[in-house]
Structure 1
Amino acid sequence: MVVVGAIAVCVVLAVLAFVIPRLSRHPERGTQRTLGAGARAGGKAPGPLGRLFSKPFHSSSRAVGRSGSAGRRFRGRMPF
């Protein structure tokens, strides 16, 4: 469920970063903040379960950052 939601957010964020590069940073930060809260909550489980529960949130946060920067980078390479 987290993975499907993260993919959808990444696609929307990449399109937003391409269309409106400067205004896409606020939603990106908000999404990363939310995913960070989920990772912290999952990390409170004892032992290896904490790492297992927080891993999807960490990887989703990294993917959100990459998709936003990729959209802005692609916009910067456009000839117009």
Structure 2
Amino acid sequence: MMIVGVIAACVVLAVLAFLLPRLSRHPQNGAQRVLGAGSRTGSKAPGPLGRLLSKPFSSSSRAVGRSGSAGRRARGRLPF
């Protein structure tokens, strides 16, 4: 279920970044803030379990950042 949510957030963020590049920064930062909180909470578990629990949140945060920047980069490449 979390995977579907992250994929949906990435798609929505990429489209928003393509259509409205400046206004897409705030939703991207909010999504990364939520995922960062999950990563920090998961990393408090002891030992290897902490790394295992925080990894999905950190990789999801990275994916959200990449999708937003990809949408803005694609918009910047338009000829008009």
Cα offset, 1:19, TM superposition: 0.4
After the TM superposition, list the runs of 4 or more consecutive aligned residues in structure 1 that deviate by more than 6 angstroms.
none
Partner residue, 1:76: 76
Please tell me whether the aligned partners of residues 3 and 56 of structure 1 are also in contact (alpha carbons under 8 angstroms): no
User: How many percent identity over aligned positions?
Assistant: 79
Shift of 1:25: 0.2
Tell me the TM-score normalised to structure 1 length. 0.96
For the pair 1:23 / 2:10, whether they are aligned, the reply is: no
Give the aligned partner of residue 36 of structure 2: 36
Is 1:47 aligned with 2:47?
Answer: yes
Code of the aligned partner of 1:52: L
State the 1:3 CA deviation.
1.9
Is the aligned partner of 1:12 residue 2:17? no
Please give the root-mean-square deviation of Cα atoms over the aligned residues, in Å.
0.7
Conserved in 2, the CA contact under 8 Å of 1:18 and 1:75? Answer: yes
Letter paired with 1:39? S
* Count of residues in Structure 1 that have an aligned counterpart in Structure 2: 80
Post-superposition CA distance 1:7-62 (Å, at most 9, x none): 11000000000000000000000000000000011111111111111000000000
Contact 1:2 1:57 in 2 (8 A): no
Write the letter of the residue equivalent to 2:56: P
